[in-house]
């Protein structure tokens, strides 16, 4: 069900839609670039904060080290704030050793005793020193006389642990910004490398998408999907698509109808969706072959299964119910034709005999001869109708007896047979009896002294059917297989396949809660047994003949005479096929 790609001419008429390959590539490149830029920004933001924190902590550490120097506290109490004072000299020494921007030592009034710019000594500090003079450590980014800097402030204690001033240390903010700027090229290099790898991966993925989509545009794919949906739901053949795990992933309308399932089966395994049986085995690939016959409900299906490249499979189903019925009717018609041909020869012989008796003026012998011929057939019909009161079943057995006689097979109705006219579904029982008798006649066709015996009796509301033959019988290891769809020991006819009749027999029995089995007959051969519970109605609920209705009018037509035996035979023969 593949579709050919849209030709270039069509693409031009549609306005040159971009291919899936190019669109996927552009989208992936945009995503990769966006992710690289976002990651770079998210990395730079905490890096800037981290560098600020490191600078402030470094300034605080220098301030704490300076405040721990007892000489500075002693000189702050005993010397004036001068450019050449001991406090200024010690503070400058520490500043140069630590590469700080400034180190300011102040008294409790906020007056500077040291500064990088000597002119600021003796002046009040430019920022508020109250927190540090109150005994608190301070870290901040602030702007003073030397510009913006990372600052650390700590109180200055004397020998008696009394606050006599504070120490403020600044780290130039330009150095912090320089470190951040120095880190950007390396970060951008990593981001560029990641972007290049992402672009390469995007190109490889896009190339794979291009091969898988056969270089189609999105509009082409949408059109193909629409065409596929229209085709799947429009064809009169069931389509079931399976994934590599054997789960149902697609069902068209015909498959839903033939299998009797709905959308709830999608996503389930075949065993969960259909249950156990030959249909499941065929669709799952456990039974291999082409044009495999299977029965689903009352439908005869032909299934084919084809694996797909992704490990799944696509199975197709065709409804063969009507064709199978026509084939069975053709087989039955051929059998009847053969029987009629043989009967025609026999009839000609009888007529010649009768003609000879009349020409010889042996009139009494002629009458006796005609009476014997007619009496044999009448005796057979009376024997059947005495034991089987249902007209369809009786007519079927009379007809089968005639066909059996022409084949040289003795068809007997057992003395134990008793079947009242109370069948709930006589047509279903006609199908069961007809299939079993036909199989028995085929089985004994090539055997001497061929005989088929039918026993059909009622046990309460249960109908029990037994068909025995003197054929070769069924091997013990094949007695369960013969009820499987598609299994047969006979050569298939020219118009189709065998292996449906016994499967339908079992399904009809199981549908009524009964069973069908096969064993060995007492005198050799096969014995088929079918038990149908609830096959007969209660005596007071037995069906009565209703006047027939003319479809061309709403008035009830008067009841006509009962159908003849020939008409009943014809109806029963059609039902048995």
Say if 439 falls within a structural domain.
yes
Residue-level pLDDT at 332: 57
User: Per-residue pLDDT averaged across 553-575, rounded?
Assistant: 35
Residue-level pLDDT at 490: 55
Clarify whether residues 362 and 428 are in a common domain: yes
pLDDT, greater one: 295 or 303: 303
Q: Which of 132, 135, 105, 97 is nearest to 121 (CA)?
A: 105
Alpha helices in 166-309 (DSSP H): 173-213, 218-234, 253-259, 270-274, 278-284
pLDDT, greater one: 57 or 350: 57
Residue-level pLDDT at 167: 92
Say if 35 falls within a structural domain.
yes
CA-based Rg of the chain, rounded to a whole angstrom? 52
**171: which 2 tokens?**
């780290």
CB 415 within 8 A of CB 453: no
Which segments of 361-450 are extended strands (E)?
Answer: 410-413
Q: Residue 75, Cα to own-chain centre: how many angstroms?
A: 90
Q: Domain count of the chain?
A: 3
DSSP single-letter state for residue 160: T
Q: In what order do the strands lie in the sheet with 138-144?
A: 102-107, 163-172, 147-157, 138-144
Please check the confidence at residue 105 and state whether its pLDDT lies above 50.
yes
Clarify whether residues 399 and 292 are in a common domain: no
**232: which 2 tokens?**
């799947």
Say if 12 falls within a structural domain.
no
Please count the residues of the chain: 577
Alpha-carbon gap, residue 449 to 444, rounded angstroms: 9
User: Per-residue pLDDT averaged across 318-329, rounded?
Assistant: 68
Tell me the C-alpha to C-alpha distance, in Å, between residue 69 and each of 167, 441, 458, 479. Answer: 11, 125, 122, 109
Say if 224 falls within a structural domain.
no
CB 292 within 8 A of CB 282: yes
What does DSSP say about strands 248-251 and 292-296: parallel, antiparallel, or unpaired? unpaired
Query: Tens digits of per-residue pLDDT, 166-189?
Result: 999 988 776 555 566 666 676 677
Residue-level pLDDT at 215: 64
204-243 as b/e: b if 16+ CB within 10 A:
eebeebbeebeebbeebeebbeeeeeeebeeeeebbbbbb
Clarify whether residues 491 and 368 are in a common domain: yes
Query: Tens digits of per-residue pLDDT, 141-168?
Result: 877 777 777 888 999 888 888 888 999 9
Query: Tens digits of per-residue pLDDT, 214-229?
Result: 666 666 666 666 666 6
Answer with the one of 259, 284, 319 that is the final residue of a domain: 319
Query: Tens digits of per-residue pLDDT, 489-538?
Result: 555 444 444 456 787 788 778 877 888 888 888 878 889 999 998 888 88
What's the sign of the alpha-carbon dihedral 416, 422, 426, 432? negative
- pTM equals 0.42
Clarify whether residues 310 and 330 are in a common domain: no
Residue 260's CB is within 10 A of a number of other CB atoms, namely 12
Domain that holds residue 311: 235-319
CA atoms within 13 A on the CB side of 517: 8
Query: Tens digits of per-residue pLDDT, 467-480?
Result: 999 888 888 888 77
Say which residue the tokens 């159908």 belong to.
563
Say if 307 falls within a structural domain.
yes
3-class SS letters over 442-472: HHCCCCCCCEEEEEEEEECCEEEEEEEECCC
Residue-level pLDDT at 560: 35
Clarify whether residues 337 and 314 are in a common domain: no
Say if 304 falls within a structural domain.
yes
Clarify whether residues 242 and 384 are in a common domain: no
Clarify whether residues 391 and 528 are in a common domain: yes
The H or E element containing residue 156 is strand 147-157
Domain at 357, CATH number: 3.30.565.10
Answer with the one of 271, 298, 319 that is the final residue of a domain: 319
CA atoms within 13 A on the CB side of 388: 29
Mean pLDDT score of the chain: 75
Give Cβ neighbours of residue 311 (< 8 Å, ≥ 6 apart). Answer: 243, 244
Residue-level pLDDT at 179: 60
What's the sign of the alpha-carbon dihedral 8, 10, 15, 19? negative
Please check the confidence at residue 130 and state whether its pLDDT lies above 80.
yes
Clarify whether residues 246 and 366 are in a common domain: no
Domain at 140, CATH number: 3.30.450.20
Alpha-carbon gap, residue 415 to 29, rounded angstroms: 90
Say if 205 falls within a structural domain.
yes
Give the angle subtended at the CA of 39 by the CAs of 33 and 45, to the nearest 5°: 135
Alpha-carbon gap, residue 445 to 440, rounded angstroms: 9
Answer with the one of 319, 345, 367 that is the final residue of a domain: 319
Give Cβ neighbours of residue 115 (< 8 Å, ≥ 6 apart). Answer: 88, 102, 104, 121
CB 153 within 8 A of CB 132: yes
Clarify whether residues 346 and 434 are in a common domain: yes
Q: In what order do the strands lie in the sheet with 299-307?
A: 248-251, 238-242, 313-319, 299-307, 292-296
Clarify whether residues 347 and 286 are in a common domain: no
Clarify whether residues 37 and 170 are in a common domain: yes
Residue-level pLDDT at 16: 42
Q: Give me the residues paired with residue 519 across strands.
A: 527
Q: Which of 465, 576, 484, 571 is nearest to 528 (CA)?
A: 465
Alpha-carbon gap, residue 32 to 203, rounded angstroms: 12
Say if 419 falls within a structural domain.
yes
Clarify whether residues 423 and 301 are in a common domain: no
Alpha-carbon gap, residue 159 to 380, rounded angstroms: 142
Tell me the C-alpha to C-alpha distance, in Å, between residue 366 and each of 362, 369, 421, 443. Answer: 6, 5, 39, 38
**Secondary-structure percent of the chain, ordered helix, strand, coil, rounded to 5:** 50, 20, 30
Residue-level pLDDT at 535: 84
Residue 276's CB is within 10 A of a number of other CB atoms, namely 9
């Amino acid at each position: 069900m593949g579709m050919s790609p849209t030709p270039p001419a069509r693409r031009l008429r549609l306005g040159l839609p971009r291919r899936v390959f190019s669109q996927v590539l552009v989208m992936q490149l945009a995503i990769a670039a966006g992710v690289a830029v976002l990651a770079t920004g998210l990395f730079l933001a905490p890096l800037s904060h981290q560098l600020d924190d490191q600078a402030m902590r470094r300034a605080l550490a220098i301030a704490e080290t300076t405040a721990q120097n007892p000489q500075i506290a002693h000189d702050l109490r005993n010397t004036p704030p001068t450019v050449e004072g001991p406090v200024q000299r010690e503070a400058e020494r520490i500043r140069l050793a630590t590469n700080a921007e400034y180190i300011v030592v102040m008294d409790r009034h906020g007056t500077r005793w040291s500064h990088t710019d000597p002119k600021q000594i003796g002046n009040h500090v430019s920022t508020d020193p109250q927190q540090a003079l109150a005994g608190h450590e301070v870290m901040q980014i602030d702007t003073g006389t030397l510009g913006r800097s990372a600052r650390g402030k700590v109180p200055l204690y004397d020998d008696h642990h009394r606050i006599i001033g504070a120490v403020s240390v600044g780290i130039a903010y330009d150095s912090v910004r320089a470190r951040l700027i120095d880190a950007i090229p390396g970060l951008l290099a990593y981001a560029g490398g990641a972007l290049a790898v992402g672009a390469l991966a995007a190109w490889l993925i896009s190339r794979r998408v291009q091969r898988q989509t056969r270089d189609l545009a999105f509009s082409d794919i949408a059109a193909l999907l629409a065409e596929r949906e229209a085709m799947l739901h429009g064809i009169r053949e069931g389509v079931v698509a399976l994934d590599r795990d054997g789960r149902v992933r697609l069902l068209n309308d015909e498959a839903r109808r033939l299998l009797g399932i709905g959308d709830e089966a999608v996503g389930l395994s075949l065993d969960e969706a259909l249950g156990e049986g030959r249909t499941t085995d065929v669709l799952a690939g456990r039974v291999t072959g082409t044009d495999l016959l299977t029965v689903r409900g009352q439908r005869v299906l032909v299934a084919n299964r084809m694996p797909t490249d992704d490990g799944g499979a696509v199975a197709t189903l065709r409804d063969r119910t009507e064709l199978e019925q026509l084939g069975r009717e053709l087989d039955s018609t051929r059998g009847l034709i053969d029987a009629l041909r043989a009967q025609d020869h026999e009839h000609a012989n009888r007529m010649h005999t009768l003609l000879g008796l009349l020409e010889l003026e042996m009139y009494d012998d002629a009458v006796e001869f005609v009476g014997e011929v007619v009496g044999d057939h009448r005796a057979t019909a009376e024997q059947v109708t005495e034991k089987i009161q249902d007209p369809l079943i009786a007519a079927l057995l009379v007809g089968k007896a005639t066909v059996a006689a022409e084949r040289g097979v003795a068809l007997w109705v057992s003395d134990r047979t008793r079947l009242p006219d109370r069948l709930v579904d006589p047509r279903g029982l006609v199908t069961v009896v007809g299939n079993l008798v036909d199989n028995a006649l085929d089985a004994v066709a090539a055997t001497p002294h061929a005989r088929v015996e039918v026993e059909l009796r009622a046990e309460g509301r249960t109908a029990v059917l037994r068909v025995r033959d003197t054929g070769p019988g069924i091997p013990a290891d094949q007695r369960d297989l013969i009820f499987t769809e598609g299994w047969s020991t006979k050569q298939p006819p020219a118009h189709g396949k065998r292996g449906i009749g016994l499967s339908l027999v079992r399904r009809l029995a199981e549908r009524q809660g009964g069973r069908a089995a096969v064993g060995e007959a007492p005198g050799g051969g096969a014995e088929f047994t079918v038990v149908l519970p609830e096959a007969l109605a209660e005596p007071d609920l037995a069906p009565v003949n209703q006047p027939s209705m003319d479809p061309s009018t709403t008035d009830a037509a008067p009841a006509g005479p009962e159908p003849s035996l020939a008409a009943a035979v014809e109806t029963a023969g059609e039902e048995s096929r």
